[in-house]
Each structure stands twice: as structure tokens, then as C-alpha cells.
Amino acid sequence: MNRWRTALLPDVAVPAPTTGVYLGRNKSGPLTMRLFRPRGTRIAVFSGPLAAQLIALRAAQSGATVRVMSTREAAWGPVLRFGADARLLPPTGPSQMSASGPQLLVDDRPDISRPFAEVPGWQCMLDVRVLGSDAAKQVDENRVASFGNADVAFFSVLGQSMAAAVGNVFDLREAAASLTVVPPHAVAVVTRGSVQLVRLEPTGDERSALRG
């Protein structure tokens, strides 16, 4: 078997393979997200369901276990039929993470008050939430603050006051201004101290799947 091995020349390097689920493209190129890690991954989604749907669809197609808790069955049924182990869960009760093993759980119940759940190792939660009108600005700022320990948060375009609130929660400083200029069909991917504007790029087949 060793006859197939060839040593690399001293000045030749082989790049490490890209891992994770592809989300879209930023100014540096394709952006993938590593969902399953030794410690759980929590993603707060304030950008509407499209980014969560794309991640769930691509994770399901890769063979990952995907569970969705949602009151919007019509929005998720077409997505989940493409996975070997993907299904809807009842929308009542607490978020249901499995005891062990890699799993993606989408909690798409934006109208239901609930805490940001703890996530076991090697599992990922996409927690879909909504931000309301300016009349509820203080409530929304408090809601965002409660997600300050999320590993990642997605946002669509925000007004200046909400962008400043998000910037305070995630320590974005000057980068918070990027949240006010998120283009259509893109999301702001926020981690502590960082913002990336990512254009979502569903393929033709994915668009058909999302339409049902």
C-alpha cells in the first residue's frame, strides 16, 4: 500500500480541506460554518428564516441529523424531505436536544417566549427570533442582550439605534456601522468583535426546495 505514497517537494504545500456547511460568500470568498464541535454551538437568527433554512437543507443533504421545532410546517416540510434523518418536532414544550451525537436543531418559534437553551457538545442550535417595530425598541434591545453568549448571530439590516445596541452586546465598536448597510439577500454574521456581510447564494435546486 505504501507504493502509492509520494513525498511532497520541500516548497509544496497542500491546503487543509474546508469543513463545515457553506453559508454564502463574503468579500474574501466562500464562508463555511462549523456546526458540530466538542462544545455546543448556539446561533441566534434575527435575519428571518432563509439563512436557517439553507443551513438546515445543506446539513440534511450531508447526512446530518436535523430536527425542527416550528409552528410553520409548510416552510420546513419541503426542506426536511431531502434529509435521511430530518423531521419536524411538535412545536410545544422546551427545545429538545438529543442526549448525544451530532445533531442540528432549528427552533423556529419566534412568537413563543423561551430562554436561550443550553446545547450539548457536538450539537448545534439555530434559534430563530424576530425583532419588532421601533415602538418595541427597548424590548428588542433587551432581547438581543439576552443572546450575548451566542457563538454566532445573524442579522438583516438594522437601524442605527439597534445596530448600536448589537454592537454593545457583541463588542463590535466601529464595525457595528456595517449592520446598517446589509444588502438585500445577505446577512450580517456577527461574532464577538467581528461582523461579516455574507451574500446568501441558494442554488436553483435549493430555491425549488424552499418553494416546496
pLDDT in tens, 152-168: 999 999 999 899 999 99
- Nearest one of 105, 59, 102, 100 to 83, comparing CA atoms: 59
How much is the average pLDDT of 188-205? Answer: 96
Residues 6+ apart with CB under 8 A from 172: 166, 179, 190, 193, 194, 195
pLDDT of 96 higher than 70:
no
- The band of 212, judged by pLDDT with boundaries at 50, 70 and 90, is low
- The band of 211, judged by pLDDT with boundaries at 50, 70 and 90, is confident
Map grid coordinates 439597534 to a residue: 162
Mean pLDDT of the chain: 85
Residue 16 has a CB neighbour count (10 Å cut-off) of 6
Please state whether 106 falls in left (phi above 0), alpha (psi between -120 and 50) or beta: beta
Tens digits of residue pLDDT in 119-148:
888 999 999 998 765 445 665 777 788 888
Position 171 scores a pLDDT of 96
Of 5-19, 35-49, 94-108, 192-206, the poorest mean pLDDT is in 5-19
Map grid coordinates 454564502 to a residue: 24
Position 17 scores a pLDDT of 42
Tens digits of residue pLDDT in 21-72:
999 999 999 999 999 999 999 999 999 899 999 999 999 998 899 999 998 8
Tens digits of residue pLDDT in 70-82:
988 888 988 888 8
Domain chopping of the chain, boundaries: 21-202
- Specify the pairing of strand 21-26 against strand 29-33: antiparallel
Q: Are 86 and 78 in contact (CB under 8 A)?
A: no
Cell numbers at 76, concatenated: 420546513
- List, in sequence order, every residue forming a beta bridge with 68; answer none if it has no partner: 88, 106
How much is the average pLDDT of 9-26? Answer: 67
Give domain 21-202's CATH number out of 3.30.2270.10, 3.30.540.10, 3.40.50.300, 3.10.180.10: 3.40.50.300
Residue with the bigger pLDDT between 134 and 203: it is: 203
Residue with the bigger pLDDT between 204 and 92: it is: 204
Position 136 scores a pLDDT of 54
Q: Are 165 and 179 in contact (CB under 8 A)?
A: no
